[in-house]
Amino acid sequence: MLAAAWNSLIAWNSDSTNRFLYLLTLNKPIFLISNTNPLNIEKIKSEMANAIGEAWQWQKHKKGLCQFQTHDNVNLITSYENKVFKTEGLIEKLVSNF
C-alpha cells in the first residue's frame, strides 16, 4: 500500500516509453541519474521492463567512488546507492569516475 502511494508520483506514459525505446535504438551509453529511493527505482525498472517486454537482469558495479547498476548500455546511477544527493555532489562524483 505504501509502495503504491509512493510510486504514484512516477508518471511513466506512452511518451516515456517511446523516448526510452528510441534511446535504446541509438546503441550508445544511456545514463539515468536518479535522486530517489529503492521503491521508486524498482517501479522505474518495472516500467522499463514493460516498455521493452522483458525483465532485465541488472548488474551492480563500482567504478572509483561511484556505484551503479547496468544492463547492456543502460547505466542507472542512484543517489541512495552513492549516499549523496544530486545537489550535493553526485554529478561531480560521476564526472570524476566516468
Neighbours of 77 (CB within 10 A): 22
Looking at residue 73, what DSSP letter applies? Answer: T
Q: Which residues contact 97 (CB under 8 A, 6 or more apart)?
A: 63, 64, 65, 66
What's the pLDDT tens digit per position in 33-60? 888 888 889 999 999 999 999 989 999 9
Q: How many domains does the chain have?
A: 1
- The enclosing domain of 76 has a CATH number of 3.40.50
Lowest model confidence (mean pLDDT) among 62-66, 78-82, 94-98? 94-98
Query: What does the alpha-carbon distance between residue 33 and residue 86 come to, in Å, rounded to a whole number?
Result: 8
* Enclosing domain of residue 47: 2-97
pLDDT at residue number 4: 86
